[in-house]
Structure 1
Amino acid sequence: MAIVEFTIVPLGTKDTSLSKYVADCHKVLEGEENVKYQLTPMGTIIQGDLDLILDIIRRMHEIPFKNGALRVSTSIKIDDRRDKNSTMEGKIKSVKEKL
């Protein structure tokens, strides 16, 4: 199971506020049942099958274009652990245990 952090930034918009674009992108996630996600102040973290996650991010990447952005920059960070099952909660718990 992969854990992916990503940020989708629309460029070439008439406003500096991005929350409308973020909300519209997150509507794609609301319909997904096979992933778990968490909105953060600077991006989104999603957990699940890597192929499915990349497909979801690709669809989300298109949303700002559909809403008038002239350019979109998407950054993706992937943690794909194969030796054991990894979860968002497990990663946080592991750090907190060491504090």
Structure 2
Amino acid sequence: MANLDAIFHSLADTTRRAVLARLALGPASVSELAAAHTMALPSFLKHLRVLEDSALIETTKSGRVRTCRLRPEAARLAEDWLGQQRRLWEARLDQLDAFLAQQPTDEGRCDEE
């Protein structure tokens, strides 16, 4: 099960976001994903582990090839949370807008002293 904190932790890193962007195009082997990054394979594998732990990706092994796939259902959890936050702030801003619209204006005032 995806955990919202783990998802946002995963998304906080440039390398992991790049992996997710690549996997949005389709499954890829670990070696294919790692080739796009200038880091040692063990370091890259740690990034994949974080993505797996957050349930954003899944890996399968066939022979000696480990393939990664995107799990979009986990990203939906973050998308739903962000949507709730957007609706909350839009409502608050609408209330502020309505409040400010009710305030008297200073149209006749001269700001020069």
TM-score by length of 1: 0.30
TM-score by length of 2: 0.28
Looking at secondary structure, tell me which structure has more strand per residue: 1
Pick 1 or 2: higher relative contact order, CA cutoff 8 A, min separation 6.
Answer: 1
Task: Judging by fraction of residues, say which structure has more helix.
Answer: 2
